[in-house]
Amino acid sequence: DVVVQPYNSLLTLKRLTQSADCVVVLDNTALNRIATDRLHIQNPSFTQINKLVSTIMSVSTTTLRYPSYMNNDLIGLIAPLIPTPRLHFLMTGYTPLTTDQEGASVRKTTVLDVMRRLLQP
């Protein structure tokens, strides 16, 4: 089994730094670990990982789809997140992650829930 992911990341870094305005970085290993540990999927498929990515990205860009006073365009959304033009690599965060079965019994997330997730690996 040939591992090419680190090479692809390294070889595309120069082009992403020069040509892109904003890059959202997602780690495949972390996505697989989240699917296994948090969503209790034994062997996550590409479809399940892509669903996780699409959920995270759609939540991250919600303010672009619904009218509001703040962050109603892409520039307004990413400008405060990028300190200098070359530092435009963003990480995402999303909580709570639930499966479709757990989604039926979702309760409000409290500050205590968020703190537990932050402090527990």
Looking at the domain assignment, is residue 51 inside a domain? yes
Split at pLDDT 50, 70, 90, the class of 116 is confident
Looking at the domain assignment, is residue 98 inside a domain? no
Write the CB contacts of 24 (distance below 8 Å, at least 6 apart in sequence).
57, 60, 90, 91, 92
- Give the residue numbers spanning the domain of 52: 5-93
Looking at the domain assignment, is residue 88 inside a domain? yes
Looking at the domain assignment, is residue 103 inside a domain? no
Q: What is the pTM of this model?
A: 0.72
Looking at the domain assignment, is residue 36 inside a domain? yes
Indicate the residue type of 94.
Y
Under a CB-based contact definition with an 8 Å cutoff, are residues 24 and 81 in contact?
no
47-73 tens-digit pLDDT: 999 999 999 999 888 888 887 777 678
Looking at the domain assignment, is residue 82 inside a domain? yes
76-92 tens-digit pLDDT: 888 888 988 889 999 98
Looking at the domain assignment, is residue 116 inside a domain? no
Domains: count for the chain: 1
Looking at the domain assignment, is residue 89 inside a domain? yes
